[in-house]
Structure 1
Amino acid sequence: MAREHDTPTCHRRRLLLGAAGLSALAGCSRTNNESPGTKTTGPNETSNTNNNRGGNAERSSSDSGAEFEINDPSVNVDRPDIAESILVGEPVEIQFEITNNGDEAGSESVQLLVDELVQATRDVELEPSESVEISFTYEFDQEGDRELSINHVPVGQVTVVESLDHGRLVGAQYYSWYYGDEGWAGQNNPVENEGWLSDIAHSPLLGAYDSRDVEIINQHMKWSLEHGINWWRLNNGAPDTRIDRIIRNVVFDADLADQMNFTILFGFAPSQQNENGKYDFNDPEIRSNLVSRFQHWEDTKVGHDSYLHIDNRPTMYFWDANIYTGDISGAFAEAKAAVDVDPYIMSGVSYTRQPAIQRHQIEPFDAVLDYNSISTDEEYMERFHELTVANQRRWAMAADALDIDFIPSISPGRDASVSQGNNSRVPPVERDLGSFENQCTTLRKFGARGMAMVTSFNEWMENTQIEPSEEDGKAYLNSVTDNLAEPDWGEPEFSYQSILITFDRAISLEDGQPRSFLTSEIHLQSDTGEFIEDVGSLDEELVYLSGCNGRTEREGVMLRFFGPRRGEQAQTTLLTEFDEEIEGMVLRGIPFEDGIEVSVSIDGDELGSTTLHGGFGQGIQNYRIS
């Protein structure tokens, strides 16, 4: 199959004979061409004439005086030969040479047999001493150890395996930005003879591979499918860039692409951020860029047979949505109006931050999916493997309350110190297989529509990869098989109560943000017990759904701002898993003005109200509501 590449690539047709899972039978002799099986419609056959080539197989003669021999049979796949098996549906090529060593011209019927059943036939006419190379392309339709032969001359045994069929969408972030000795897309000066390997901490089994080589893509798809990964989230880059062309002309055209599902990841260039490090959707240039991305995506990606649709809607993922600001809803509505499809859009919120702080990055979208749930906070990253599970459980509750889809984000760890050096603002997290397994088994049950995403398959620069390496082998892929690639993920185990705190007014501050109360603790009281929330700490258990701003420190205590953001009512909504009937509540903190009235309801039932006396001059106080 001809494939267009960004630059010419030398295809290495890999001989599988003798590899693990395939028995080599060399020097086989040709026998008669009778077939005990039923002839079926065969695959495509090709041939190239090559005169005067000799052979070493035993000969047989036809009645005409022609004498034919079959030499050098081989079985090949269009990927590296380190594979231990072949996937159902993966094309294999059976190649051999046939020579007429007789003194007269003659014809020969050549048959490909699988398990002694004829699968394809072609007739060959050869002059004396003439040779021809013949290849059959075949796709196995069932698993098992399958015997291949040409006219009953054994070629070898192939171990065929099925893609794992588990009825779930198990995804992995996939990058096609590797260019062998030329480095990777973000690398300025690759080390000579090392390419992009000089920018990474671990060593891929495939070496410094080139994403423009379809053999590499085939191998990655094979590894993914046999371990239960059936969904790739693809980093696209800008329209008509090298990465974009690789996706369209190599990834989408790979041998196993029809067994995969694809979603495109979108993001904006850092140069488009404003002075606050945000992407402002009031900026006409940002809005125009968004429209053009939608249009290019519709024209070049949506129509692929394996492009993932949810509810008949093609999927998109905006990984940097957590730093969007301005008229986000209006900009996305404008972009949607510019295409003829209704996209299902996933928002790249940050699971390390409370949902209330990101409501504007949630509301225009259909699902939430953090890229990798990391933070620049050193204490958080030291506890990453613990806190990422707790935070995502919290977000699953928020998504349930907001009626949007939650997709877990699973990662083995992260360390960009080799590729970014001192420029990496994110503290490293050591890779941990046990934590990875725990994330898989704990978080999978929260995945809406049976979806979960691993970051990443091959982001070697941040050391998040699960692709086989010299250091880890296939340990992380095997963990995906054991812990994600199964039909029974269980059901979410949480239930929650909704707490609505209403203030009679909010005070406008110098930054333009109206706020009512600065909160350090929340006490939920029942007849038999009490739950205490350390507001602003890394161990927050409550879900802050709306009416909550960022954190600040005062008097050595971490606090959060309660009350409205711009354009909202003077209310704060919380979710709690406290499973007892709430009889009372204590707000500990500082009101922004003396005399603010506050009332509280639990799941719509009024709990009580009180007046918040005091202010910043009187420090932190307790206010009980019952």
Structure 2
Amino acid sequence: MKRFNILFAAALCLSLYACKKDMTGPSVDDSILNYKIEEIPVTQDYVVGAFYYSFGGWNAAVKEEPVAGKYSYPNGKLTAGVMSQHINFGVKGGLDYFVFSFRSPNRDANNFKSDSTVIRTFIDNNGEGKMKFAMMYNFSTGSYGLSATNPLEKDKVKLEQFFQDFNRVVPYLKDPGYMKVDGKPMIYIQNAQVLYSDNNKAIYDTLRSRLGALGIQAYIVGMQDRWTPPARYQIRFQGCVDAVYHQSFSSQPNNWDRWYVLPQAIDQNWKYSKEYFAQNFGADYIPNITPAYNWLITNPTSTNPNYPRSDSGALFKQLCNVAKKNASGKTRLIMIDSFNNWQEDMQLEPALSYGELYLDIVKKQFKK
């Protein structure tokens, strides 16, 4: 009987211990996002591009001021000397190229002229060939009137205009200062995920064929909207593009759960996306990061999390390392959004308050 009581007491203690252990449940230590973003040494230079913005005026809510002084692009014309400063800043920060927007002369003629003027200003001020440049087709479903039920092929006039939009920029693609990957000029397509077509591969095959007839073998990069899974737009990208990039996950942060673990959340998404695009599309992945973001400039009542600047740029440094972790081992391409989007505080460009801090970070993070 005594032996039974001892065994019963021992069993009861074990049972209570097990229940107590179960009641604690999972802890933060068990989270897939509970890890540190390590510093990745640069043993070989990365190829770094930055999106370049043009704008007509300054929002009064912009508190930062450029070292170059406040400038604007009325009709695409830049204040004298500013583009030269921008090129010099870009080179100093280890940027290899700027990416400029170009819009359809058929669907958006005024902005096409403005975009062309900005690109020409860059070329005219880049006489020593210090930097490269690439072009991004600013695709808008609104300008073409496309939808899932109104694909591009449905209107033969619009379809031909789409191809002509690219034909018109062939002289730029042949410029000695144009950015190339494996000898192929890069063409970015913004909002490629909504290039509605019944057969996207046929559209891209025709585009490549027509450019090829003009002596251009293009390296095409398609954009996918932020925080979307890689399989969502498979019909838009598979067999179509050479590389994919997402809108910057660190711009317009609107989810507090993601914000608290932003570098890790981005890292996990990019790791999966990179593998998926490679295995299913045969496409490279290009990480795209942002130095900062301020919702209050365009939306003063916003309660979304801001991505502020700091004296050390600590969060941006983490994102640089996430980008290095997920860059293609073949092309080593990295994008930064942006060089000069002051309207949302996304700029690398030096300001009176933080100086050249963000250019210095880019240089140290991506160049030997």
Fold match, TM over 0.5? yes
**Residue 331 and residue 263 in structure 1: after superposition, are their counterparts in 2 closer, same or farther (change >3 A)?**
same
Aligned to 1:355: 230
Residue equivalent to 1:296 = 168
Residue 368 of structure 1 pairs with residue 244 of structure 2: yes
**1:477 positional shift:** 0.9
Contact 2:52–2:339 (CA under 8 A) maintained in structure 1: yes
> 1:413 is matched with which residue?
292
CA distance change for structure 1 residues 388 and 431 in 2, over 3 Å: closer, same or farther? farther
Query: Which segments of 5 or more consecutive residues in structure 2 lack a partner in the other structure?
Result: 1-43
Superposition map of 1:380-459 within 5 A: 382-383=259-260, 384-402=262-280, 403-419=282-298, 427=304, 429-432=306-309, 433-448=313-328, 449-459=331-341
Specify the alignment match of 1:460 in structure 2: 342
CA contact (8 A) 1:416 1:461 kept: no
Summarize the Cα distance change of 1:381–1:260 in structure 2 as closer, same or farther, 3 Å threshold.
Answer: same
Distance in 2 of aligned mates of 1:229 and 1:460: 18
- Opposite residue 472 of structure 1, the aligned amino acid is Y
Matched, 1:205 2:87: no
Name the CA distance, whole Å, in 2 between partners of 1:332 and 1:274.
19
Q: Is the 8 A contact 1:227 1:478 kept in 2?
A: yes
Alpha-carbon distance in 1 for matches of 2:254, 2:201 = 30
In the TM superposition, residue 467 of structure 1 has moved relative to its aligned partner by: 0.7
Change (3 A) 1:324 1:288: same
Matched position secondary structure for 2:246: coil
Q: CA RMSD in A?
A: 3.0
Residues 428 and 464 of structure 1: is their aligned pair in 2 closer, same or farther, counting only changes over 3 Å?
farther
Q: Encode CA deviations 1:11-37: one digit per residue, 9 max, x unaligned.
A: xxxxxxxxxxxxxxxxxxxxxxxxxxx
How does the TM-score come out when normalised to structure 1? 0.44
- Aligned partners of 1:457 and 1:467 also within 8 Å: yes
Deviation readout 1:167-219 (Å, 9 max, x if unpaired): 431111112x24xxxxx1xxxxxxxxxx4252634322222214523511111
Q: 1:286 to 1:472 in 2, by over 3 A?
A: farther
Find the aligned partners of 1:396 and 1:461 in 2 and give their Cα distance.
30
Aligned residues: 303
Q: What are the residue-to-residue correspondences of 1:589-604 with 2, within 5 Å?
A: none
* Residues 47-76 of structure 1: per-residue CA shift (max 9 Å, x gap): xxxxxxxxxxxxxxxxxxxxxxxxxxxxxx
Q: Which residue of 2 aligns with 1:332?
A: 204
AA aligned opposite 2:46: R
The separation in 1 between residues aligned to 2:241 and 2:186, in whole angstroms, is: 11
Equivalent-residue separation in structure 1 for 2:279 and 2:58 (angstroms): 44
Structure 1 residue 377, shift from structure 2 partner = 5.3
1:262 is paired with a residue of what secondary structure? strand
Name the structure 1 match of 2:89.
Answer: 223
Alignment of 1:551-570 (within 5 A): none
CA deviation profile, 1:447-467 (whole Å, cap 9, x unmatched) = 221211111110111221111
Structure 1 residues 354 and 235, CA gap change in structure 2 (3 angstroms): same
State the match for 1:272 in structure 2: 143
1:261 is displaced (CA, Å) by 1.6
Contact 1:319 1:371 in 2 (8 A): no
**Secondary structure of the residue that 1:471 maps to in structure 2?**
coil
Contact map agreement 1:381 1:429 (CA 8 A) in 2: no
Q: Is the 8 A contact 1:203 1:469 kept in 2?
A: yes
Higher alpha-carbon Rg? 1
**1:10-409 mapped onto 2 (5 Å cutoff):** 167-175=45-53, 177-178=54-55, 184=56, 195-198=57-60, 200-211=62-73, 212-239=78-105, 241-255=112-126, 258-269=129-140, 271-272=142-143, 280-284=151-155, 286-299=158-171, 301-326=172-197, 327-339=199-211, 340=214, 341-350=216-225, 352-363=227-238, 364-373=240-249, 378-379=255-256, 382-383=259-260, 384-402=262-280, 403-409=282-288
Q: Which amino acid aligns with 1:367?
A: A
More helix by share: 2
Say whether the 8 Å CA contact 1:214–1:251 is kept in structure 2.
no
Aligned partners of 2:158 and 2:257: how far apart in 1? 32
User: Quick one: distance in 2 between partners of 1:256 and 1:381?
Assistant: 44
Decide whether the 8 Å contact of 1:281 with 1:287 is kept in 2: yes
| 2:178 counterpart SS class | coil
Alpha-carbon distance in 1 for matches of 2:299, 2:217: 38
Question: What letter is aligned with 2:283?
Answer: I
Tell me, yes or no, if the aligned pair for 2:274 and 2:285 is still in contact at 8 Å.
yes
1:280–1:286 Cα contact (<8 Å) kept: no
Return closer, same or farther for 1:277/1:387 CA change in 2, 3 Å cut-off: farther
Question: Is 468-477 or 340-349 further displaced after alignment?
Answer: 468-477
| Greater RCO, 1 or 2 (C-alpha within 8 Å, sep 6+) | 2
Q: Is the 8 A contact 1:315 1:346 kept in 2?
A: yes
Deviation per residue, 1:468-505 (Å, 9 max, x gap): 1133221111110111122xxxxxxxxxxxxxxxxxxx
More strand by share: 1
Q: Secondary structure at the match of 1:202?
A: coil
CA distance change for structure 1 residues 269 and 421 in 2, over 3 Å: closer, same or farther?
A: farther
d(CA) in 1 for partners of 2:337, 2:161: 26
Counterpart Cα distance in 2 of 1:456 and 1:252? 19
SS at match of 1:469: coil
Equivalence for 1:470? 352
Asked if structure 1 preserves the Cα contact closer than 8 Å seen for 2:191 and 2:223, the reply is yes
Partner of 1:562: none
SS at structure 1 position matched to 2:228:
coil
AA partner of residue 343 (structure 2): M
Q: Which amino acid aligns with 2:161?
A: N
Instruction: Quickly say closer, same or farther: Cα 1:450–1:459, change in 2 above 3 A.
Output: same
Contact in 2 for aligned 1:408/1:443 (Cα 8 Å): yes
